[in-house]
Amino acid sequence: MKARILATAALLAMAVTVMPAFAQAPVTITWSTLATGGPQVSDVYRALAQQYERQNPGVRVNLQIQPGTSGEQYNRYVTLFAAKDTSVDVISIDVIWPAPMVAAGWLAPLDQWFTREKRDAYLPGAIRANTIGGKIYGVPWYTDAGMLYYRRDLLEKHTARVPTTWDELIQTAQRIVQAENNPQLGGFLFQGARIEALANFFFEVLWSNGGDILDGGGKVILDNGKGLEALNFMLDLVRRHRVTPPGVTTLPTDDTRAAFQDGRFVFLRNWTYAMGLFQSEGSRVQGRVGIAPLPRGSAGSASTLGGWQLAVSNFSRNKEAAWRFVEFMTGPVAQKSMATQLSTVPTWKATFEDPVVKQKAPYYPDMLKVALNARPRPQISDYPRLSSIVQTNLHAALTNQISAEEAINRMTREIRSLLNQ
Amino acid sequence: MAGRGRVLRAGHWVLIGLVVVWSLAPYVWTLFTSFKTERELYQFPVTYWPHHPTVVNYVQVFTQNPFGRFLLNSAIVTIASTVLCLFIASLAAYAFARLRFRGREILLVGLLIVAMIPLITVIVPLYILVRNLGLLNSYLGLIAPYITYSLPVAIFILTAFFREIPHELEEAALIDGCTRVNTLWRIIAPLAAPGLITAGIIVFVYTWNEFLVALTLTSTTDVRTITVGIALYRGEFTFPWGVISAAVTLATIPIMALILLGQRLVIRGLTAGAVKG
Amino acid sequence: MAAPTIARPSAGTQTVRRWVSGQLTESELAALLILPCFAFLAIFAIYPIVNAFWTALHTLRLDQPHLGMPFVGLRNFAKALGDADAWHAIRVTLSYTAVTVAAQFVLGLAIALIINRMERGKNFVRAAALLPWTMAPVLAGQMWRWLFNDQAGVVNDLLNRLGLADGQIIWLGVPGLAFFAITVAATWGAASYMALILLAGLTGIPDELYEAASLDGASPVRTFLAVTLPLLRNAIMVSLVLRTLGALQALDLPFAMTGGGPGNATETFALYIYKNTFQFLDFGYGAALSVILVVIALTFAGTYYRVLTPRD
């Protein structure tokens, strides 16, 4: 009898001491992300994660830095989510991933926490890119857009204005190249390898002419003449105006950045990341680079929206806790930290006005102008396939395997077939 | 007549030189690249010997990532996979080469299928399997799949070499009272040394260079292998040639050493056990 | 009184006893030897592969989960038959395989013969010759892409310096040249793989045969054809089969060097499978394509086997 009372007392005592621990069992949020740009980037992320942990005792952030390119990151997510893995809570996603990932049911909708009010603090284009079917699935983290880089020193030397139309760009490039009489200097460079950026530049030219792949209702309108016009323009850059070298078809993004940084081009179309490198120690073009929106076509200037967002995995077991971390990581504190220490362009509008940020990156206002006007790519769940069709045919035309007409025809046909039109 | 011999020998040395140059030239270029500054890398026209040599790339190799740890992980996983795979494959190869049994052809075809299936096709079910076994982010979680997918290659090579060994030697030993298994170790293995080295090197290099499985089944730095680790230096757009060249150069040294050492060890180890006479 | 029963040992115990005393039948011994191998394969290969083959018979589009995973029989295969891009990729892979395996075989054999004749420094030269293969194809592809760069690449620079070319050849921007560039890169990497196997085979050829041949007055070429080649048959078959399998699966190298371009001139079948599986998320179709690849490989292997197997 006594033994049983003692045993019960012991059990109760144990329960009482153990229970608080259960009440405060630490929640672990696992965040999988690329760290684009080396250790200083992952250091900043880590510092922010630790700051969050300090402000939220009881939460631990497990930071998983993934190697490689965004393509490899995507493969990893595909594997994880195809296996319905619950080990990852927060993920960084590229701007073109929401559509396929939402279609696959991999992202948790955030509407209940990410209210309209909160969304207003972010760049509108980026918010749109995360909204699929009326619901929002990601929070803009940092943004990106295609822009025109130019050699301020060369333009000044030859008293040329920053070109605002495509024709001006060609003429200015030709004039400067001829005047400089330097066989190593080229006019204008874009990403011509068979990569996403090639399709993006095509979109930019196409949009600036008033054309598009799909109309507002989702119908394919690539063959309305504007598509051919845009492709012919790109081909003319190489063949007729000769401002772009034929070797452009072998150049992926960073090679074009390196070529411009080496001083070999007057103009460059590239993403925002390049500016930080142009301004770095040892850069041949340090202090000599300006940023402008891409030239206008008949319908204005257009830019492709890029950038990364934070999302919550639909298989996460701690969705609300994950959301709170996402809110912090995309909030003003984190955005300012990243803007001042890294070269990423914030998505929190107020960050652009911060004096510290303005001092560190005086070119941010220029970038903001471009980013505000950037357009998202077709937000269909089959975007990867659409992009592949566009890339392959563009590249085939640029490398003289097929004519421009044939390329546009094939693209139109295949995209129509893809979308069952 | 002696002159002709000398010409032939000189010719032989020229050919050897060509082989060495052809094999090593890109590595030498990588070595030079690893000492160049970022600026000089993209310079045109191309420079070979760095004009302003710097070790900043090598510093970055170690400060950006736990490079030494990656090398250690690769070494552990690769050596374990190779040794175990060779052992298991030798047993199976002996059976294929010497014994008659039902299902021999089917098993061979099965091995071929395993060798042929693209890893991208099986990576998702493999991931699920390894996860369910609780082996994610572990050495064993990498070693077991590597052994499995190296077995077909190893078995093919070893079977071919076992077949080369004349039956008489074995029969003599069997008559002398050795068991089958004994003959495997005492007689066949030493004679199959070239085959074992070959299979061993192939499995070793395949495992060392393997990317997709290592990338998928590990997500933490304490088990990350060197091939995946070198990919860490890349950014979303940037490809830091200088740092990666330094990393590749550093990663090549252990491999070269291991191959040189491995060759010598295996030969010595096996010939020591050879039956004399 | 009950008669004492003599327990007969079970079949299992009998087998163990026979094993211990080395008297197993051939089949039993074979089973025992293959057991460890089979265990690994059963767990880590059979399940994933069966899963993949099973998936090929279903529709499984991860970007359209509302479709579920219905059984569709051979529909994915029928789709492949009508897929022009798939046929193109198969053609690319077949030409790639034929050219690279031939080049690697010739070069590998040459390297093996050269090294085989060496006495001093053999280990070093063999290790040096092996080194190209130790560079991961992912990295080698990037390196060769840089080497073949039209502006800053070493290949163009050397060609210009040697006077063999004038101006910048855009290697990776012209289909034929890009194909050639990939072949060079692949051969650099894998010729040593061939050489390794062939060298092992050469080592097994007894010197007496060479001496006998030279005593008979045979020229080096005749010796090679009459003595070396026949005895190398096993090694040749193994190296050809393995290299062909490797070439059929070529993904990392073309992907890193050209991404499948220009256009899709270097888009190998494995690359196409990768695109469909991981980029387009069509796992059912990707699995069906993989099965087709396996069938192609089996056909190659079967042909090699029939042509090259010595009559035992």
Give the pLDDT confidence of C216-246 residue by residue, as tens digits: 877 878 878 888 888 888 888 888 988 998 8
Contacts of A373 (CB under 8 A, 6+ apart): A125, A145, A293, A301, A302, A303
Chain B: give the shortest CA distance to residue A82, in Å.
Answer: 7
Please tell me the predicted confidence (pLDDT) of residue A294: 95
Please tell me the predicted confidence (pLDDT) of residue A2: 65
Q: Which of B65, B216, B235 sits opposite A37 (nearest CB)?
A: B235
Residue in chain C closest to B97 (alpha carbons) equals C30
- For A136-168, how does the pLDDT look when each residue is reduced to its tens digit (9 = 90+)? 999 999 999 999 999 999 999 999 999 999 999
DSSP annotation of A294: P
Is it the case that residue B269 has pLDDT exceeding 70?
A: no
Is it the case that residue B39 has pLDDT exceeding 90?
A: no
Q: What is the pTM of this model?
A: 0.86
Outline where A143-252 has alpha helix (H). 152-157, 166-180, 196-208, 226-239
- The more confident residue out of A156 and A360 is A156
Instruction: Dihedral sign for Cα C209, C211, C217, C220, please.
Output: positive
Is it the case that residue B273 has pLDDT exceeding 50?
A: no
Q: And the tokens for A201?
A: 């530049």
Torsion angle of alpha carbons B258, B260, B263, B266, nearest 10°? Answer: -50
How many Å apart are CA B226 and CA B216, to the nearest integer?
14
Using a CB–CB cut-off of 8 Å, the residues of C that contact A are 62-65, 145, 149-151, 168, 170-175, 258-265, 275, 278-281, 283
Please tell me the predicted confidence (pLDDT) of residue A149: 96
Instruction: Count how many Cα atoms sit within 13 Å of the Cα of residue C39 in the half-sphere of its side chain.
Output: 9
User: Which has the closest alpha carbon to A164: A270, A292, A266, A275?
Assistant: A292
Residues in A 78-137 with any Cβ partner in B closer than 8 A: 78-80, 82-83, 85
Phi and psi based region of residue A33 (left: phi greater than 0; alpha: psi -120 to 50; beta: remaining): beta
Largest CA distance in chain A: 106
Q: Collapse the DSSP code of A290 into the 3-class scheme (helix H, G, I; strand E, B; otherwise coil) and give the result.
A: strand
Chain A: give the shortest CA distance to residue B84, in Å.
Answer: 28
Please tell me the predicted confidence (pLDDT) of residue C21: 60
The model's confidence at residue B262, banded by pLDDT at 50, 70 and 90, is confident
The answer to whether the CB atoms of A83 and B239 lie below 8 A apart is no
Is it the case that residue B189 has pLDDT exceeding 70?
A: no
The answer to whether the CB atoms of C47 and B125 lie below 8 A apart is yes
The answer to whether the CB atoms of A79 and B123 lie below 8 A apart is yes
The answer to whether the CB atoms of A384 and C280 lie below 8 A apart is yes
Q: Which of A81, A105, A250 sits opposite C172 (nearest CB)?
A: A250
Residue in chain B closest to C39 (alpha carbons) equals B148
Torsion angle of alpha carbons A104, A110, A115, A121, nearest 10°? Answer: -80
Q: A-chain residues within 8 Å CB-CB of C263?
A: 194, 392-393, 395-396, 399, 401-402
The answer to whether the CB atoms of B219 and A64 lie below 8 A apart is yes
Chain B: give the shortest CA distance to residue C4, in Å.
Answer: 37
How many Å apart are CA B275 and CA A203, to the nearest integer?
74
Q: C-chain residues within 8 Å CB-CB of B122?
A: 45, 48-49, 51-52
Please tell me the predicted confidence (pLDDT) of residue C11: 64
**CB atoms < 10 A from the CB of A56, how many?**
16
Please tell me the predicted confidence (pLDDT) of residue C312: 46
Task: Scan for tokens 């061939």, then name that residue.
Answer: C194
Chain C: give the shortest CA distance to residue B110, in Å.
Answer: 9
CA distances C119 to A349, B9, B10, Å, are 73, 12, 14
- The more confident residue out of C232 and B232 is C232
Q: How far is CA A139 from the centre of its chain?
A: 13
Please check whether residue B254 is in contact with residue B170, taking contact to mean a CB–CB distance below 8 angstroms. Answer: no
Q: What is the mean pLDDT of residues A404-415?
A: 96
The model's confidence at residue A6, banded by pLDDT at 50, 70 and 90, is low
Q: And the tokens for A232?
A: 């012919």
B139-164 vs B104-116: helix crossing angle, rounded to 10: 130
Phi, psi of A314 (to 5 degrees): -70, -10
Q: What letter represents residue A100's amino acid?
A: P
Name chain B's partners: 3 or more CB pairs within 8 A.
Answer: A, C
**CB atoms < 10 A from the CB of A22, how many?**
8
A373 in contact with chain B, both atoms CB, cutoff 8 A? no
Please tell me the predicted confidence (pLDDT) of residue B265: 65
Q: What is the mean pLDDT of residues A320-326?
A: 95
**C152-C158-C164 Cα angle (round to 5):** 120
Please tell me the predicted confidence (pLDDT) of residue B276: 33
The model's confidence at residue A377, banded by pLDDT at 50, 70 and 90, is very high
Q: Collapse the DSSP code of A150 into the 3-class scheme (helix H, G, I; strand E, B; otherwise coil) and give the result.
A: strand
Phi, psi of C311 (to 5 degrees): -70, 115
Contacts 24+ apart (CB under 8 A), B99-106: B99/C26, B99/C27, B99/C29, B99/C30, B99/C33, B100/C26, B100/C30, B101/C26, B101/C27, B101/C30, B101/C31, B102/C27, B104/C30
Q: How far is CA C159 from the centre of its chain?
A: 32
Q: Collapse the DSSP code of C38 into the 3-class scheme (helix H, G, I; strand E, B; otherwise coil) and give the result.
A: helix
Task: Scan for tokens 């998702």, then name that residue.
Answer: B124
The model's confidence at residue B115, banded by pLDDT at 50, 70 and 90, is confident
How many Å apart are CA B138 and CA B220, to the nearest integer?
10
The answer to whether the CB atoms of C286 and B121 lie below 8 A apart is yes
Q: What is the 3-state secondary structure (H, E, C) of chain B?
A: CHHHHHHHHHHHHHHHHHHHHHHHHHHHHHHHHHCCCHHHHCCCCCCCCCCCCCCHHHHHHHHHCCHHHHHHHHHHHHHHHHHHHHHHHHHHHHHHHHCCCCCHHHHHHHHHHHHHCCHHHHHHHHHHHHHHCCCCCCHHHHHHHHHHHHHHHHHHHHHHHHHHCCHHHHHHHHHCCCCHHHHHHHHHHHHCHHHHHHHHHHHHHHHHHCCHHHHHHCCCCCCCCHHHHHHCCCCCCCCCHHHHHHHHHHHHHHHHHHHHHHHHHHHHHHHHCCCCC
Chain A: give the shortest CA distance to residue C242, in Å.
Answer: 28
Please tell me the predicted confidence (pLDDT) of residue C16: 63
**Burial (CB count within 10 angstroms: exposed 0-12, middle 13-18, buried 19+), residue A178:** exposed
Residue in chain B closest to A79 (alpha carbons) equals B124
What residues form DSSP beta bridges with A220? A214
User: Which has the closest alpha carbon to A123: A328, A351, A343?
Assistant: A351
Please check whether residue A324 is in contact with residue A61, taking contact to mean a CB–CB distance below 8 angstroms. Answer: no
Largest CA distance in chain C: 109
The answer to whether the CB atoms of A72 and B215 lie below 8 A apart is yes
Residue in chain A closest to C281 (alpha carbons) equals A78
Interface confidence (ipTM) of the complex: 0.82
Q: Collapse the DSSP code of C199 into the 3-class scheme (helix H, G, I; strand E, B; otherwise coil) and give the result.
A: helix
How many Å apart are CA A44 and CA C92, to the nearest integer?
45
Is it the case that residue A22 has pLDDT exceeding 60?
A: no
CA distances C220 to C214, C215, C217, Å, are 8, 12, 9
Please check whether residue B231 is in contact with residue B211, taking contact to mean a CB–CB distance below 8 angstroms. Answer: yes
How many Å apart are CA C270 and CA C276, to the nearest integer?
10
Q: And the tokens for A131?
A: 């909204």
Torsion angle of alpha carbons C25, C28, C32, C37, nearest 10°? Answer: 120
Task: Scan for tokens 């085979």, then name that residue.
Answer: C201
Phi and psi based region of residue A134 (left: phi greater than 0; alpha: psi -120 to 50; beta: remaining): left
- For B75-85, how does the pLDDT look when each residue is reduced to its tens digit (9 = 90+)? 999 999 999 99
Name chain A's partners: 3 or more CB pairs within 8 A.
Answer: B, C
Please tell me the predicted confidence (pLDDT) of residue C1: 45
* pLDDT > 70 in chain A, percent: 93
Give the mean pLDDT per block of 10 residues along chain C (312 residues): 55 62 71 89 91 92 84 93 94 95 94 86 85 87 88 86 84 91 94 87 80 80 82 86 90 88 90 90 92 90 77 48
The model's confidence at residue A325, banded by pLDDT at 50, 70 and 90, is very high
Q: C-chain residues within 8 Å CB-CB of A132?
A: none
How many Å apart are CA B260 and CA B48, to the nearest integer?
28
CA distances C283 to A160, C52, C164, C245, Å, are 54, 9, 48, 23
Gyration radius of chain C over CA positions: 26
Task: Scan for tokens 């150069």, then name that residue.
Answer: B249
Please tell me the predicted confidence (pLDDT) of residue C203: 79
Please tell me the predicted confidence (pLDDT) of residue A409: 96
Please check whether residue C61 is in contact with residue C75, taking contact to mean a CB–CB distance below 8 angstroms. Answer: no
**A415-A416-A419 Cα angle (round to 5):** 85
User: Which has the closest alpha carbon to B85: B146, B156, B141, B163?
Assistant: B146
B67-98 vs B193-209: helix crossing angle, rounded to 10: 140
Torsion angle of alpha carbons B97, B102, B106, B112, nearest 10°? Answer: -20
Please tell me the predicted confidence (pLDDT) of residue A21: 45
DSSP letters of A317-371? Answer: S-HHHHHHHHHHHTSHHHHHHHHHHS-PEESBGGGGG-HHHHHH-TTHHHHHHHH
